[in-house]
């Protein structure tokens, strides 16, 4: 979708990119702090090569980069900010 929109919008100077985050430590993941969910949270966190969730500021920094003049020639891209989740890290489910 980002690639198609980038092509469609380029003629009017609009760049289109997307950010693909991994697990982010937010209020939503805070619900996993419950003792009953602790092992599930640890398993999810372990899917990330850095063995942690990102901070919201880390995702915001990626978005800020894409919105900045430093990314003036970047369009139609998907910036993966997932702590290695999709870099080939094997999921051990079960």
Q: Which domains does the chain have, with CATH numbers?
A: 2-81 (3.40.50.720)
pLDDT score, position 94: 47
Predicted TM-score (pTM) of the model is 0.82
Most confident listed range (29-33, 69-73, 82-86):
69-73
- Cα-flanking dihedrals φ and ψ of residue 24, to 5°? -120, 135
DSSP symbol at 67: H
For residue 42, pLDDT over 90 is answered with no
More confident residue, 93 or 23: 23
Query: For the chain, what percent of residues have pLDDT higher than 70?
Result: 93
The confidence band for 90, taking pLDDT boundaries of 50, 70 and 90, is: low
Q: Do the beta carbons of residue 91 and residue 47 sit within 8 Å?
A: yes
Collapsed DSSP state (helix, strand, coil) of residue 59: helix
Q: What is the predicted pLDDT for the residue at 43?
A: 82
User: Is residue 18 within 8 Å of 76, Cβ to Cβ?
Assistant: no
């Amino acid at each position: 979708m980002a690639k198609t929109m980038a092509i469609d919008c380029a003629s009017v100077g609009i760049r289109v990119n997307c950010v693909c985050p991994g697990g982010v430590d937010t209020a939503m993941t805070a619900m996993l702090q419950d003792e009953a969910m602790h092992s599930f949270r640890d398993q999810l966190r372990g899917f990330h090569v850095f063995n942690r969730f990102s901070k919201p500021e880390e995702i915001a920094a990626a978005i800020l980069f894409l919105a900045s003049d430093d990314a003036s020639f970047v369009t139609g891209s998907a910036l993966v900010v997932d702590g290695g989740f999709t870099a080939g890290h094997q999921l051990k489910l079960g």
